[in-house]
Structure 1
Amino acid sequence: MGNGGRVVLVTGVSRDLGRRFAVSMSAQPSVRRVIGVDVVPPRGDLGDVSFVRADIRNPIIAKVIAKEDVDTVVHMSVIATPGSAGGRHTMKELNVIGTMQLLAACQKAPGLRDLIVKSTTTVYGASSRDPAMFTEDMQPRRAHQSGYSKDAAEVEGYVRGFARRRPDVRVAMLRAANVLGPIVQSPITSYFRLPVIPTVLGFDPRMQFLHADDLIDALRHTALSDVSGTFNVAGDGVLMLSQAIRRLQRPSVALPSFAVGGLGSALRSARIADFSPEQLRFLTYGRGVDTTRMRNVLGFTPKYRTDEAFADFAASLTPTGGRSTRVIDGLTHALESAGERRRELEGSRHG
C-alpha cells in the first residue's frame, strides 16, 4: 500500500455510473487518489477525481497505470448500448479490445493488487431451457450469437485468463442484474420509457433489477474488501413483466414474437430504443439469478429490493395514458408492414 492509502483507477467515467462510482471512491478514507479514465470527459462534476483522457484500446493506458502507481483497477466501461458508442462495431471494440488492452497493462503493473470488473447477468442469456435461478457456476443454455452478452462473456474469459496469469492479484467480478435509476440509459430503461410497451404474446417473463445506488455501493464494498471470485448482484425478489407495466401506468400491446422483433428493428433504426435479439429473448423468457454468494461470501445486501428499485425508477417517468393513441397507430402500422415483409419472405422461400 505504501504511503497512506490506495490509488484507484476507474474506467468508463464519462458515463454517469462510472463518474458517480469514482467520486464515491475518492471520498473513502482508505483511498489516497482516484484516477478516472475515458475517451471523453464526463459531463458532471468529478470532485477530487483526476481525469485522464485515454482510450483503453490504446497501450497508453499501461503508462498511466505505471506512472500513477495504481494498485486497484475498477473496470466499468463494458457497455450495453451500441447507440452510445457509435454503432455495434465500435461497441465491440470498446468492450473486448478495450478490456484486452487494459488487462495487458494490468499484467505489466507489478504494483497492482486488486482488479474489480463490473459484468452483467446477461452472460447467462435467456432461453426456454433456463433454470429458475442461475448460480455463478452455471453456463448459458444456448451459445451467445452476438451483442452485449457475447461481449460480456468474452470479457469474463479474458479476466479469468488474467487471474490465472497473475495469481498475486485479487480479482472480483460482479454480475449485475439490469440496473435501474432515473438517469440510467440502457436497453431495458429505454424499453420501459416507450409510450406504449410491446410485450411478447403468451409470455410473462420474470425480471430482477438492481438500483443504480446499490450497484455503486456493491462496487465500492468489493473494492474495499479482500473477497475474490464472481458474484451475482441483484435486488431481492422478482417482478413479472406484467406487474412492472401495471406499475408504470403505461399501455402495452401484446404481439407475436416476430412482430416485436420487427418493431425492435424499427425502433433501433429510429434510435428510440435498442432492441437487440438478446433483448427480445429476455422479454420472452426473463431471467433469475441466485444471490446467496453475494450475501454470504461478498457480505453485501442491496438496500432496494427488485420491486423497490423498479418503483423508484417508475416514479421518475410520466404516465403516457393520454398521448399514446398516435404512437399505437404508428406501431400498429410498423407491425403490419413487418408482417407483410415476413409473409413476402416466406412466400419467396417456398416459391
Structure 2
Amino acid sequence: MTKHQRPHILVTGAAGALAQQVIERLKEDCDLVAIDFREQVYLGDDIPSYCIDFNKRVFEDLFRRYEFDGVIHLGRILSSEMTRMRRYNANVLGTQKLLDLSHKYGVRRVVVLSTFHVYGAVAYNPALIDESAPLKSAGLSADLIDSVELENLANIYLWRYPDLNISILRPCNIVGPGVRNGISTLLAGERAPALAGFSPMMQFIHIDDMADAIVLAYKKPTRGIFNVAPEDWVAYQHALKLAGCRRIPIPSVPPILPTLILRALKLRSFPSYLMAFFKYPVVIDGRAFAKEFDFKPKRPLKEIFRFYRDNKKPV
C-alpha cells in the first residue's frame, strides 16, 4: 500500500540521458521529482527539477515535502567529470545521505545504478562473471574506488534495511544517442585508439534497453544485486570497425607511452584508468536479471553500431 494514489519517485542524475529516458517511461503513472548534483534541467511543467548537493540540508526538505515512495539513483558521477575528492563526496557520501534519508522517511523501493567496472579487468577473469564475483577494481585503480565504495555502501543498506527493497544494477557498457561515457565517445569518433595485440570481448546495451531494465526493476521490488547485459558480445577492435572508426594502434607498454601518444593525437577519450578494460575481457552474466525481471534487450548490436557509423560526431 503506497502513501499516495500515484507513486512519488525521486530520480537522481536528471541531467543524464539515461535518467531522462527513465523519467519519460514513468511520468504517465508516477509523480516524479528530478534532481542532479551538477545542473538543473527542465523536464516539463509537471516534473519538479532541482540542482542540489545531496550533502546539504535542503536535500532533506525534499523528502519531507514530497513523501517519496521510491528512489531511482542514477546520479553516479563519472571519473571524467570532477576531481577525485568531489567525485567521492558526490558518489559515496552523497549516496550514504540519500540512503539514510530514504530509510528515515519510509521509502519502500530503491534502485541503485552501479557499473560492471567494479569487477576490474584482469587477465584471469572468468569467461562469464556473475554477481558473486569479488569487486577487484578498487585495488587496480584509484579512479574506480568511489564506484566500488558506492556499491559496498548500497550493499550494507540492502542487508541492514530490508524494508528499503534495494536493487543494485551493474550494467555493461551503456551506449546510444545522448550517452557521454568513455566508450560512447570512442565509438562516435572518426578515429579510436586500440592497444596493439589486444581486442577483448565487450558487451554493449542500448540506452533504450537500459532504461527499460531500470523501469522493470523498479516495478518489481526484488532485493539484490544484478548484472544487466545482453547475451551477445563482440571483440573491441571489431566493434570499432562496425562503428566506422579508423583504428589507431598504440603500444601497451610502458604504461606512460599510450598516454603520451593519446596526447599527441589529441585523443582524450581513452581514459587511462580504464586501460586494462581495453586489454582484458570483462564479460558479465546477465541471466539472473533477465529471468527475475523478464528482461530481453530489443536493440541488437548491429543497430547500436549503425547509429555510431551514421553519426560520426560527438553525441
> 1:10-21 counterparts in 2 under 5 A?
10-21=11-22
CA distance in structure 1 between the partners assigned to 2:287 and 2:25 by the alignment: 26
Given that 2:227 and 2:288 are in contact with CA atoms closer than 8 Å, whether structure 1 keeps it comes out as yes
Higher relative contact order (CA 8 A, sep 6+): 2
Q: Cα offset for 1:310?
A: 3.1
State the distance in 2 between where 1:113 and 1:265 align: 49
Which amino acid in 2 is paired with 1:19?
A: Q
Distance in 1 (CA, whole Å) between partners of 2:266 and 2:282 is 26
* 2:100 maps to 1:99: no
Q: Deviations over 1:96-138 (max 9, x none)?
A: 12112212222211x2100100111111111101011100111
What corresponds to 1:4 in structure 2?
5
SS in 1 for 2:304: helix
Per the normalisation by structure 1, the TM-score is 0.81
How far, CA to CA, are the matches of 2:188 and 2:255 in structure 1? 16
Q: Can you list the C-alpha shifts for 1:250-306, whole angstroms capped at 9, x where unaligned?
A: 321222213675444675799853433431101111310111102111221111234
**Do the aligned partners of 1:236 and 1:305 also contact (CA within 8 Å) in 2?**
no
1:238 aligns with 2:236: no
Query: For residues 181 and 167 of structure 1, do their structure 2 counterparts lie closer, same or farther at Cα, with a shift above 3 Å needed?
Result: same
SS in 2 for 1:285: coil
Shift of the 219–142 alpha-carbon distance from structure 1 to 2, 3 Å rule, reads closer
CA distance in structure 2 between the partners assigned to 1:299 and 1:185 by the alignment: 28
CA distance in 2, matches of 1:211, 1:272: 24
The 4+ residue runs of structure 1 with deviation greater than 6 A are 268-271
Contact persistence 2:21–2:208 (CA under 8 A): no
Match of 1:190 among 185, 191, 212: 185
Q: Deviations over 1:112-170 (max 9, x none)?
A: 10010011111111110101110011114565343553222111111111122212121
Q: 2 CA distance for matches of 1:81 and 1:101? A: 20
Compared CA separation, residues 43 and 264, structure 1 to 2 (3 A): farther
Cα deviation digits, residues 13-68 of structure 1 (max 9, x gap):
022222232232112x2x2x100012354456445321123111324322211221
The match for 1:162 among 142, 146, 157 is: 157
Change (3 A) 1:125 1:272: same
Unaligned runs of 5+ in 1: 319-351
Q: Is the 8 A contact 1:174 1:233 kept in 2?
A: yes
Q: 2:312 aligns with which of 302, 317, 322?
A: 317
Q: Report which stretch shifted further, 162-171 or 287-296.
A: 162-171
- Secondary structure of the residue aligned to 2:282 is coil
> Does 2:283 match 1:282?
no
Deviates more, 1:201-210 or 1:141-150: 141-150
Distance 1:56 1:142, change over 3 A: closer
Q: Which moved further from structure 2: 186-195 or 163-172?
A: 186-195
For the Cα contact (< 8 Å) 1:163–1:171, is it kept in 2? yes
CA contact (8 A) 1:36 1:52 kept: yes
The equivalent residue for 1:126 is: 121
TM alignment of 1:109-258, pairs within 5 A: 109=105, 111-141=106-136, 143-258=138-253
- 2:37 counterpart letter in structure 1: V
Q: 1:6-85 counterparts in 2 under 5 A?
A: 6-27=7-28, 29=29, 31=30, 33-43=31-41, 45-46=43-44, 48-82=46-80, 84-85=81-82
C-alpha distance in 2 between matches for 1:236 and 1:247 = 18
Between the aligned partners of 2:264 and 2:44, the Cα distance in structure 1 is 33
> Which residue matches 1:299?
294
Mean Cα deviation higher: 116-125 or 296-305: 296-305
TM-score normalised over the length of structure 2: 0.90
Cα pair distance change 1:223/1:191, threshold 3 Å? same
Cα distance in 2 for partners of 1:197, 1:271 equals 11
Superposed CA offset, 1:201-221 (max 9, x none): 111110000101111111111
Identity across matched positions, percent: 25
In the comparison of the two structures, how many residue pairs are matched? 313
Is the CA contact (8 Å cut-off) linking 1:198 and 1:255 kept in structure 2? Answer: yes
- Alpha carbons of structure 1 residues 147 and 77: separation in structure 2 relative to 1, 3 Å: farther
Conserved 8 A contact 2:130-2:284: yes
Q: Quick one: structure 1 residues 147 and 265, their matched pair in 2 at CA, closer, same or farther if it must change by over 3 Å? A: farther
Structure 2: which 5+ runs fail to align? none
> How many Å separate the matches in 2 of 1:72 and 1:224?
10
